[in-house]
Structure 1
Amino acid sequence: MRGRARAYPVVVLTAALLASAGCSSPYESDSEPKADVGDRTIRPVEGCGDTSWTDPADLSPNRLPARCQPGAPPPRPLAKTRKLTIATGTLSAEYVAPLQVAVDKGEFKKEGLDVTLKVLPTPDALPLLAKGDIDAQWAAPEAAVMNGVRGGFDIRWVAGNFSPDPESKSGLWVRLKKGESADRVAMAGRKLGTMIGKGSVIAYPMEKALEQHGGGLDRIQYAQLGSADVLTALQNGGVDSAWLLDPVWRKVDGEPGYAFLGGQPQGEPLGGMLYGPSLLNDDVDAGVALLRAYIRTINTYFASDYKRDAAFVSYLAELLKADEAILESTPSLRMDWEIRTGTTDRLQSAYRAQGVTEGDDPLPESRTVTRTLYEEAVGHRP
C-alpha cells in the first residue's frame, strides 16, 4: 500500500505470478504443509497460560484476544542466526507497528533472527514468497493470494494482525448526495476509491455495508488509487465513496456531507503474516521463532490500550513517521495474532461476488491457513 498501487486484474495477475514462480500444482488432496503439530513437540511455555489461546470458532465481537504475560513467550534463540526478509506494503501504517517495534526493540534478534522489512506491493511480493526469495509477507489473504494457492503456491496465512476498536470508524465512507442521510444512502452505481481494487479483503466487510444501502459488490464501480490519493479523491469528488483506514478517517469524521457506513468486523483479523515454503517447510524452527518474537512484542507493548501511554505514542509516531496528533486521536488497534475459523471462506465468498476468483469451489481452510506455528509458540496443543 505504498505510493501508487498497480492496477493488476486479479485473474491475469495470478497467471503471471504462477509463470514467474515456475509453479505447477503439487496438490492431489487437501494436504497440510510439513509444519504440522504432529511432527513437532509442543511444550508448555512460561508466561503463557489459559489466556494465550482462544477457540478459533469464537466469533464474538467482544471476544478478548489471546494474551500471555509481558515478555512472554520467552526467547528460544536458534543455534545459528537466520536472515529473514518480510515484505510489507507500507512501513508507516499502524498495523505494521508490532513488526517495527520488534525490529527496533531487538525482539527478533533475541530469537537469533536478523530480520529485514522490505516494502513491496502484493503483486511483486507473492511470486518471491512462493519461490522462497522472501520468507514472509505482512499482508492479507486477498484474491490474488487465494488464486495463487489454487494454482500451486505453497503459501499459508499463519498469524493474524488486528481487529478494530469498537470506537473506530475505519471502513466505508461516502459523500452524501443532496437529500441523503447516513441511514439512507443509495450505493448502487457509486464509484469507490480503494488501494487494492477488486479482490481486497475489504470486500467481505464492504459487502455487508453495501447490502444495507441498496448496493452490492457487483453494483459499484472501483477506482484503484495510491494510499495517499484515496482521501484526496473522496474530498475533491474524484470518487464518491472510499475505504479509509486508521487514522485517515479522522479527516472527514464530523465533517458535513460525509457518512460512515461500516467497517471490519470486531474480533476478526483479516490479515497478518503469510509464510511461503522457506518457513512452512524448510526451516520451521525459524518460522516459529519469528512468530514467537511477534507474539512477545504484542504481549509486551500492545497488550491493551497502548495509546494511554503518551510516551509510547510519541515513540510510535517517530518510528512510523506518522503525525503524532492524528495517531493519538484514533483508538488503539486490538492486536491479535490468532485466526478465526471460516474467515477465508467468507473472504472467498466476497471475491466470488466480485468475479475475481478462479474455480467453482472455494479452497478449504486446510489449504489457506496454518495455526500450528503460533500455537507452538505459546505452548498450546490442540
Structure 2
Amino acid sequence: MRICVALLALACVVAGACTPAAAPSATTSPSVHIKVGIQGVGGPLEIAYRRGYFAEQGLDLEEVPFNSGAEASQALATNQVQVGSGSPNAATFNALGRNIDLRIVGDWSHVGSPTDTTLALLVGKNAQDNIKSVADLKGRKLAILGAPGNVGDFFMARALQGSGVSLSDIQVSYLGASDILAALANGAVDAITINEPLGTQAQQQFGAKLLVPAGAVMNGSELSVLEYSPDLANNTDAATGFMIGYLRGVRDWNAAFHDKQGTADVVNLLVQYTPIKDANIWTTAPAWYVEPNGKINVSDLQDQLDFQIQAGQVKSPPDLSKYVDSRFAEQAVQKLGAQ
C-alpha cells in the first residue's frame, strides 16, 4: 500500500501527500492490487494494513485521496478505485438515484452509546447563559459542519424533536472544519454541530459546552459506510479477503479504544504512520464506533434517506436494497467468528 493521504479527523477531508513507507511483508506475495479511496480518517484500515492483515489475504493496497464524496463515488462506480467510504447524505442518495453503481458492504462508523459525542451539538462560550436547551436555539445562529443534506441535518432534526422548534426556526449555515471553529471562537455563531475530534478541540480551546451528544438521539445510526466497486464485488475471493483484513483492523481498533486493551501499541502505530503525531489526540478524543462484524444498520439508512426526501434534498430516491450487499461481511465473520 502506498500512503498518499494524510489521515485527519473523521470530519475532515485531506488531499495532502506524505512519504511512502515500506509495506509489511506478506506470507505469500500479494496478487490482487486494490485501490482504496480515502476522504477522512482510516484508523481501522491503517491498523489492518500496518499489521499485514491485507497482505495475508493476498492483497496489495494503494490509498488514493479524494476531496469530495461525489468524486469518490464516481471513481468507485467506474472502478478507478475498488474500495471507499461514504456518508449516508443527500449527495450519496442522489448519486444512487442516478444509478451510480456501487455496493454498500459494511459499517465504517456509527453512533455508539447514549453519551457518544462522535457527532454533537455544542454551544459557544458567549451563548451559554442564554442557551440551556435545544428550545433556546430558536432565532439563534447555528453552524452545521459540511454541506446541506448531510447527517448533521438528520441529527439536528432528531435533537429538536419535542422541543417545539424546527430547523426552519434557526438561522442555519453550513461551514467547513476550519471556518466552523473560527465562527464559534469569534461569536459569529451561537452553536455548532460537529464531529470528533473537532468537538473536543472546540471544548478545550474555545470553551464550548456540550448540549446534545448524538448518542442520546440517534444511537446506532450510520455515520459512514464501507463501499465496493461493482468489479470488486464480482471478485468474491478478493472482496471477502479485504473484508477479513478490514474487520481484523476494526476489532483491534475497538479493543484499543473502547475496551482499553493494547491501546499503547495501536496509538504508537497511528502516531508513527499518520500525520497525527500527538498521541494525546488519539487517547483523549472519543473514538468512533465500528461494528465488529461489519453489520450495516439498513433500517437507519432508510430513515436517513426518508428524512432527506422530506427535506427536499433527494429528488430521485434510490432503492437501497439494490446497493446494500452484506455477503462479504457475513463470509468474513464465518472465517473470523462473530463478536
Give the TM-score normalised by the residue count of structure 2: 0.77
Q: Is the 8 A contact 2:134 2:163 kept in 1?
A: yes
Distance 2:254 2:50 in 1: 15
SS of 2:101's partner is: coil
Distance 2:101 2:82 in 1: 12
Gapped regions of structure 2 (runs ≥ 5): 1-11, 16-25
Q: Is the 8 A contact 2:115 2:213 kept in 1?
A: no
1:251 maps to what in 2? 201
Q: Is the 8 A contact 2:39 2:85 kept in 1?
A: yes
Q: Deviations over 1:234-259 (max 9, x none)?
A: 22233333222222222343775634
* Correspondence 1:346 to 2:292: no
Displacement, 1:339? 0.8
* Correspondence 1:327 to 2:282: yes
2:3 maps to what in 1? none
Q: Deviations over 1:133-183 (max 9, x none)?
A: 111212223211211111111222110023334443231223363752432
SS of 1:270's partner is: strand
Displacement, 1:102? 1.6
Q: Is the 8 A contact 2:107 2:225 kept in 1?
A: yes
Give the TM-score normalised by the residue count of structure 1: 0.69
Displacement, 1:109? 1.1
2:32 maps to what in 1? 82
Question: Any runs of at least 4 consecutive aligned residues in structure 1 with deviations exceeding 6 A, and if so which?
Answer: none
Q: Is the 8 A contact 1:160 1:338 kept in 2?
A: yes
2:243 maps to what in 1? 291
SS of 1:334's partner is: coil
Q: Structure 1 residues 238, 3: closer, same or farther in 2, change over 3 A? A: farther
Gapped regions of structure 1 (runs ≥ 5): 5-74
Distance 1:178 1:108 in 2: 48
Q: Is the 8 A contact 1:205 1:263 kept in 2?
A: yes
Amino acid at match of 2:82: D
2:20 maps to what in 1? none
SS of 2:240's partner is: helix
* Correspondence 1:315 to 2:269: yes
Displacement, 1:350? 2.2
Q: Is the 8 A contact 1:307 1:313 kept in 2?
A: no
Displacement, 1:213? 4.5
Amino acid at match of 2:222: P
* Correspondence 1:169 to 2:117: yes
Distance 2:96 2:121 in 1: 29
Q: Structure 1 residues 220, 184: closer, same or farther in 2, change over 3 A? A: closer
| Greater shift in the superposed pair: 295-304 or 129-138 | 295-304
SS of 1:173's partner is: strand
Distance 2:139 2:104 in 1: 34
Which of these residues, 19, 37, 51, is aligned with residue 105 of structure 1?
Answer: 51
Q: Is the 8 A contact 1:188 1:214 kept in 2?
A: no
Distance 1:178 1:340 in 2: 35
Instruction: Give the CA RMSD over aligned residues.
Output: 3.1
Amino acid at match of 1:107: Y
Distance 1:217 1:123 in 2: 25
Displacement, 1:287? 1.5
1:31 maps to what in 2? none
Question: Taking every aligned residue pair, what percent have the same amino acid on both sides?
Answer: 24
| Greater shift in the superposed pair: 339-348 or 179-188 | 179-188
